[in-house]
């Protein structure tokens, strides 16, 4: 089972160095819901699955990264910028 991330939430203001706080995915009824970063990453790990971004027909898998302070998701590098997490629509929680 894989999960497609459809939107993200980042803190408002100067967000260049702020991590994504929520990943938006469709629930089993097709409703877009926000999942808090740590909870979602723990869920992915516990269920041995992964998330991906798909835009313009290009799909990119998201890997869990750790910067020494927090865990976060990062799309795998490829030739497309369209399937980058940071290019997804922004939503408020």
For the cut 70, the answer to whether the pLDDT of residue 80 exceeds it is no
Measured CA to CA in angstroms, residue 70 lies from 17, 21, 29, 34, 54 at distances of 12, 11, 31, 19, 25
Structure confidence at residue 81 as a pLDDT band (50, 70, 90): low
Site of tokens 């994504």: 20
For the cut 70, the answer to whether the pLDDT of residue 44 exceeds it is yes
Full-model pTM: 0.88
What's the chain's average pLDDT?
Answer: 88
pLDDT in tens, 4-28: 999 999 987 666 678 899 999 999 9
User: For residue 82, what pLDDT is reported?
Assistant: 60
């Amino acid at each position: 089972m894989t999960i497609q991330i459809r939107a993200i939430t980042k803190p408002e203001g100067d967000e260049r160095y702020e991590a994504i706080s929520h990943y938006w995915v469709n629930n089993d009824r097709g409703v877009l819901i926000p999942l808090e970063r740590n909870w979602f990453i723990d869920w992915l790990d516990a269920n041995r699955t992964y998330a991906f971004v798909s835009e313009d027909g290009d799909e990119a898998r998201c890997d869990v990264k750790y910067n020494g302070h927090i865990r976060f998701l990062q799309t795998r590098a490829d030739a497309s910028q369209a399937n980058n997490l940071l290019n997804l629509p922004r939503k408020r929680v």
